[in-house]
Structure 1
């Protein structure tokens, strides 16, 4: 009979950013100091939450490193741990992208499309603060990816 097992995936990613959307003043220049600070704050908060999730996972996996005698329990535990590690790897990659984005803010290059150079837009950046392409260029990029995959 299978032994009841503890779930290692209880720490689902709780990365939520409760920030107030930025409302630009009339005549305010795009990506001025206030806007840059707004996005830097969002990125730093997100980075902190991701880091805390990664640390929590490490401690959880150390605490729950039980060896099960039943092969099915052991397989389930290994599967859960593998899934958790894949999620944390994605979060590490996102932290790297956040660090790169903070570098763009500090260099004064944040908020402009890498492809065409136009403004990405405040709403898109609030939805995805690490965006490096405007919605039009990103859409074209995704279409090209789909065509190359065929």
Structure 2
């Protein structure tokens, strides 16, 4: 994994400082929810800008190359971009779902066992809906089933 990819994996959204809990602060109180709302909205905005850039790029770069190899290379490039945008589209849906959880004051707790997910995990993956233990078990089960 490249250094840039590792940085994006740790903090997907640019320009945000990790949340610093005040001593004795309530988990998922109003300030914490406001922080994650801001983070998720910024992330969604960045993803939407990427979609716009892809559309513009594909319009600008679309050409009918006479050489089949050039045409195939361009089609492959476009296919990769579209696949990436499709993953981002799914991520935008997950961000919207997470923003709704924040609004409903249900964000930050594991959907499997109900324990706190934790601020550090949510900083790393703001759309996380399971604690580390439940997510690990789910991944093990997924590998065993072969999905």
**TM-score over 0.5 for the pair:** yes
For residues 49-104 of structure 1, give each alpha carbon's deviation from its aligned partner in whole angstroms, at most 9, with x where no partner exists: 00000001001101111000000000100000000000000111100000000000
SS of corresponding position for 1:120: coil
The 5-angstrom pairing of residues 1-150 of structure 1 reads 16-149=13-146
Work out the CA distance in 2 between the residues paired with 1:112 and 1:142: 18
Q: Check conservation: 1:111, 1:120, Cα contact below 8 A.
A: yes
- TM-score of the pair, normalised by structure 2: 0.90
Structure 2 segments unaligned to the other structure (5+ residues)? 1-7
The alignment's C-alpha RMSD in Å is 1.3
Structure 1 segments unaligned to the other structure (5+ residues)? 1-13
Q: Which runs of 4+ in 1 moved over 3 A?
A: none
SS of corresponding position for 1:90: helix
How far is the alpha carbon of 1:149 from its aligned partner? 1.2
Q: Check conservation: 1:17, 1:42, Cα contact below 8 A.
A: no
Q: If you compute each CA radius of gyration, which structure gives the higher value, 1 or 2?
A: 1
Q: Check conservation: 2:13, 2:42, Cα contact below 8 A.
A: no
Work out the CA distance in 2 between the residues paired with 1:16 and 1:116: 28
Work out the CA distance in 2 between the residues paired with 1:16 and 1:24: 19
Work out the CA distance in 1 between the residues paired with 2:13 and 2:118: 21
- TM-score of the pair, normalised by structure 1: 0.89
